[in-house]
A and B are shown apart, each in its own frame.
Chain A
Amino acid sequence: MKVLLEEKHSLLEEVESRSGQKVQECYQCSKCSGGCPFSGIMDYAPNSILEMIVYGLKDQLLASKAIQMCIQCGTCGAQCPAGFEMYEVMNVLREMAKEEGYVSHEVKIPKMNGIFLGEVRNIGRMHEVNLMVKNMLSQGELVRDVTSLIPIGPPMFFKGIMGMGDVFAHKIQGQAQVEKVFANVEKARGGITP
């Protein structure tokens, strides 16, 4: 029991000190979860996450889908009567999960993020066509994704939203600098690829 209590204490303390948010001040009104656009597809809703931090349920939390789904839309924070920013907590939880090598139950989002950042690392910018194609091939739902493109693709092309000029990617001049930024962040993280 003693060990468990110490562990509870450490997760709460670490999250509070790294995020600058007083998790203990949450009184579970649940407005964050009511407002969150993604709470319906999260395994743990935002207010539950705060409670799990207090209870020290670290393994469930750091491997959860929920922490990968927050896109910092800020809806929760704008409605929070205790006045704190949940997204800061989510950012810290994702970073801790990465540092401690947790394998997330959410596969799709980290995969897409990796493809996006790979483009940025390799050419200095995000290339929309490369991102779309590589992401479709990696998500394992090729039929669904290609079908969904049928009503969109041709009008995008005919109306000039996308043209042949968008197919090829061009490196920026300072691509090596951008590559260096990635490498330096990696070094600062003790070798973990961002």
Chain B
Amino acid sequence: MRVVVQEEVLDPYKEIEHHEETVLESGKHGGVVSFVGTMRDFNDGEDVSAMNLDHYPGMTEKHIEQVCQEAMDGWDVMDVLVVHRVGDMYPSDPIVLVAVWSAHRASAFDACRYVINYLKERAPFWKCEVTKAGKKHWVEHNSKDPGVAESREKAV
């Protein structure tokens, strides 16, 4: 399992490639399922031009690691990689990568969904958006994935 919180620009596909080349044993996994969250240029009917992502160093990493461990305990997966950005970002920038490797696809799909859903629910990050009109506001809540309850029951 690898969890990284970084200010640097995120290239999710390079991260997957690098993880496969440096950490995973070649030929052992049957697939990788990834989720890449990117920044939208709209939210709640407003045009958004930039965003700053705040976090709680130490607590954020700890809670992402806990969610990844739950996914590894709950499904038959080989490895989980999470890279999450903080700091200033702009529309279309990747914000988060969740990648899950397994021997068979079903557990990788389920575990990947579990990790992104519970990361969003529990890891301390806060989005502050800047609108095209130059107005700054904190995002009050994330949208919920309707699959979230089902995936917790399966894993825990």
* A, B in one complex: no
